[in-house]
Structure 1
Amino acid sequence: MPQGQDRIVPGILLMIGFTVTAPVMDSFAKLAAPEIPVGQIVAARFGIQVLLLFPVAWALGSLARPTLPEAGLHLGRAALIIAATSAFFAALGAMPLADAIAIFFVEPFILTLLGALLLGESVGWRRILACVVGFGGALLVIRPSFAAFGPVALLPLMTAFFFANYVILTRKVARSMAPLALQAWTALAACLLVFPALALFRGSGVGPLDPVMPQGIFWVWLAGVGIAATVSHLFISASLRLAPTAVIAPLGYLEIVSATALGYLIFGDLPDAQALAGIAIIMGAGLYVFLRERHLSRPPPPPP
C-alpha cells in the first residue's frame, strides 16, 4: 500500500459522508420551512451546533480562547454564513433541493474570481472561460426555476456569493486554529447574532424573523437541521485532516447526486432535462477549474 494510503482512504470516505449528510440538513430545513420561519431554522442550526461541538472541542483540548482580532473574524464569518444559510433555506421553501444545490455550485467560480480580486491570485484565461461556462450552466438551471418560482430562484446564487466570501475570510484565520474549534467559535458567534434578532422581532409579524412555537414533528425537523449540520462539518473537518484537498475536493460534486436522490425520495422532485444539462455543465466546468489549479500548483520538474 502506498505511503499515506491508509489515511487517504478514510479521508475520502469521510468526504463522501459529508456529501450525504449536508443534503440531509437541507432536507430537514425544507421539511421545516412550511411552518417555521427561516431565521428560526438558522438559529436551530447554529444553536445545536454549539451544544454539540463545544463539549467535543473542550474534551479534545482544542478550544483555545480566540484573541480580539480572531473574535472579530469569527463574527465576520458568522455574519456571512448566516446570510448564506438564510438565503439557501429560504430558497428551499419553494425550490427543489437538487436545483438549489446545483445553482449553489457556482461558488467555486465566484471563489476563483474573488481570489483574483481580493487576494491577488493569478487567474488565467482558461479558468476565466471555465467560470463563464459554469455560470452558463447555472443559467440553464435558473431559467426554468425563475419562471416557476420567481426571484427566489436567485437565492442560491446569493448563497454562493456569501459562502465564497466566507471561505476567503476563513483562509485568514484557519491557519492559527484547529478546525473543530474554528467551527465551534463561529457557531457561537452566529448565535450571538441571530438569537437577539429573533428576540427583537418576536411578535413583529416580520415573517422570516418572527419566531413561532414548533408543533409536533417540526421539533424533529429543527433538531435534524442542527444535528446534520454538525455531523457534516465534523465529516469535512476530519476529511481535510486526513486527505489532501486535491484528492477530496472533486468529491464535493457528489452532493448534487445525494440531493437529487433525497429530493426524489422525500419530496418527489426530479430535475428536468434542461436542469440536468445545466448541472452537467456546472460539474464539468468546476472540475476543470479544480484540475487547472491543481496543475498550476505542482512544483516544476527538477532540471535534468
Structure 2
Amino acid sequence: MAPRVVSNPYQSQAVKAIGLMVLATICLAALDTTAKYLTDIQRVPVAQVVWLRFLWHVVFSAVFLWPFALQPSLRSKKPGIQFIRSCLMILTTALNFVALKYLQLDQNIAIFFLMPLLVAALSGPLLGEWVGWHRALAIFAGFIGVLVVMHPGIGDVHWAMLFTLGATFGYALFNIATRYLAAYDPPAVTQTYTPLVGVLIMTPFGLMQWESPDHWWVWLLFASLGFWGGLGHWIIILAHRLAPAGVLAPYIYLGLVWMSAFGLLIFGDVPTWWTLAGAAIVILAGLYLLARERLAEGRAEKQPGTRRAGSEFDPPQ
C-alpha cells in the first residue's frame, strides 16, 4: 500500500508566494525596460515618462485595485511623512529613468542591488536599529561590489552611474520611511499616497516637456508604465502576505536575469564581466545579510517578549 501523502499548507503558500515574487521581478524589469526604450530609443523626455508612470499607476489602481482589492484612503496619522515618502519615490524614479537612458539594464540593476545593504546601514542613525560587525562587513562588501561594476580608475565611469547610486539611496530612504509608517498607517493608506502625490508633483513638469508620440503603439507603452509598476508592487504585497520576507528576499536577485535578457533581446546589450562580477559580490553580500537576519530572528524568538525589528528586505507598501 502506497504511503499517504500529507499536504503541507505552509509549504503550498510558500510556493505560491515565490511564484508571485518571480512574477513581480518580471513586472519591474519590464517597467525599467519600457522606460529605457521610451527615453533612449523614442527620445521621450524623462519628466514626461516619470509623470506618465504615476498617472497610469493611478488609472491602474482606480480600475483594478481600488474597487476590488484595496480601499483607497488618505487618512494618515503621519501625513507629512507620507508626503516625504512619496517624494522619495518620485526622486528615485526620476534618477533611475535618467540613468536607464544611458546605462545598460544589467549595469543599473547591479548597482540597485545595494539597496537592502543601504537600508541596514541607514536604519541605525534613522531608526536606532544598529547593525553588528557581521552586517557591517556585508555592507562594506556590497560597496566593493558596486565599485567593481563602476571600475573607477580602470575605465571611464559613466556619470549616469552616479544617478543610479542616487536612486538607490533614495529607494533605501523610501523603504525606511515605509517601515516607520507601518506602525501608524495601514498599507492601503500608504499605497494610496504614492501614486497620487506622484501625479500631483509631476503633472506640471510632464506637461511642460510633453511631446506627442509619432506612433500609436507608443501610447500603449505609456499606459504599460503604470500597469507594470502598479501590478509589480501589488504582487509583492500579495507574496509577503503568504510568506515572510526572509523566504522571498533571495528571489529579488532574479531581476538581474530578466534585465540581462531584456537588455540583450531589445537593445543588444551584452553584460560585461565587470557587471557580472560586481553583481555577484553585491548579491552574496545581500544573501549573507539575510542569513544574519534569520539568525538574529531565531535568537529573538527564543527570548520571550522580544519584538522583531523591521527587515531591510520587507516590501515597500
By the TM > 0.5 criterion, same fold?
A: yes
Structure 2 counterpart of 1:252, which letter?
Answer: I
Secondary structure in structure 2 of the residue aligned to 1:289: helix
Structure 1 counterpart of 2:200, which letter?
Answer: L
Q: What TM-score results when the alignment is normalised by the length of structure 2?
A: 0.86
Deviant stretches of 4+, over 6 Å: none
Find out whether 1:5 has 2:11 as its counterpart.
Answer: yes
Question: Cα–Cα, structure 1 residues 95 and 273, in superposed 2: closer, same or farther, change >3 Å?
Answer: same
Q: Is the 8 A contact 1:46 1:187 kept in 2?
A: yes
Question: Cα–Cα, structure 1 residues 275 and 58, in superposed 2: closer, same or farther, change >3 Å?
Answer: closer
Find out whether 1:166 has 2:174 as its counterpart.
Answer: yes
Secondary structure in structure 1 of the residue aligned to 2:131: coil
Q: Is the 8 A contact 2:53 2:226 kept in 1?
A: yes
CA deviation after TM superposition for structure 1 residue 177, in Å:
4.5
Find out whether 1:116 has 2:124 as its counterpart.
Answer: yes
* Aligned position for 2:281: 281
* Aligned position for 1:219: 219
Could you list the per-position Cα deviations for residues 66-120 of structure 1 after superposition, in whole angstroms to 9, with x for gaps in the alignment? 2354432332111100111111110110110011010111111111111111111
* Aligned position for 1:207: none
> Among residues 148, 152, 156, which one is paired with 2:160 in the alignment?
152
Q: Is the 8 A contact 2:75 2:189 kept in 1?
A: no
CA distance in 2, matches of 1:54, 1:175: 26
* Aligned position for 1:205: none
> Among residues 126, 133, 150, which one is paired with 1:142 in the alignment?
150
CA deviation after TM superposition for structure 1 residue 51, in Å:
0.8
CA deviation after TM superposition for structure 1 residue 149, in Å:
6.2
Structure 1 counterpart of 2:46, which letter?
Answer: V
* Aligned position for 1:18: 24
CA distance in 2, matches of 1:52, 1:158: 28
Secondary structure in structure 2 of the residue aligned to 1:271: coil
CA distance in 2, matches of 1:145, 1:234: 41
* Aligned position for 1:74: 82
Q: Which 10-residue stretch deviates more, 145-154 or 32-41?
A: 145-154
Find out whether 1:96 has 2:104 as its counterpart.
Answer: yes
> Among residues 86, 103, 115, which one is paired with 2:94 in the alignment?
86
Question: Cα–Cα, structure 1 residues 61 and 218, in superposed 2: closer, same or farther, change >3 Å?
Answer: closer
Supply the RMSD in Å over aligned alpha carbons: 2.2
CA distance in 1, matches of 2:154, 2:136: 26
CA deviation after TM superposition for structure 1 residue 172, in Å:
2.3
CA distance in 2, matches of 1:218, 1:33: 12
Structure 2 counterpart of 1:44, which letter?
Answer: L
CA distance in 2, matches of 1:145, 1:240: 42
Number of residues of Structure 1 aligned to a counterpart in Structure 2: 294
CA distance in 1, matches of 2:266, 2:238: 29
Q: Which 10-residue stretch deviates more, 100-109 or 189-198?
A: 189-198
CA distance in 1, matches of 2:294, 2:86: 29
Secondary structure in structure 2 of the residue aligned to 1:59: coil
CA distance in 1, matches of 2:37, 2:148: 26
Q: Is the 8 A contact 2:106 2:275 kept in 1?
A: no
Structure 1 counterpart of 2:274, which letter?
Answer: Q
Structure 1 unaligned runs (5+)?
Answer: 203-209
Q: What TM-score results when the alignment is normalised by the length of structure 1?
A: 0.90
Question: Cα–Cα, structure 1 residues 172 and 301, in superposed 2: closer, same or farther, change >3 Å?
Answer: closer
Amino-acid identity (%): 34
* Aligned position for 2:270: 270
* Aligned position for 1:206: none
CA distance in 2, matches of 1:146, 1:94: 19
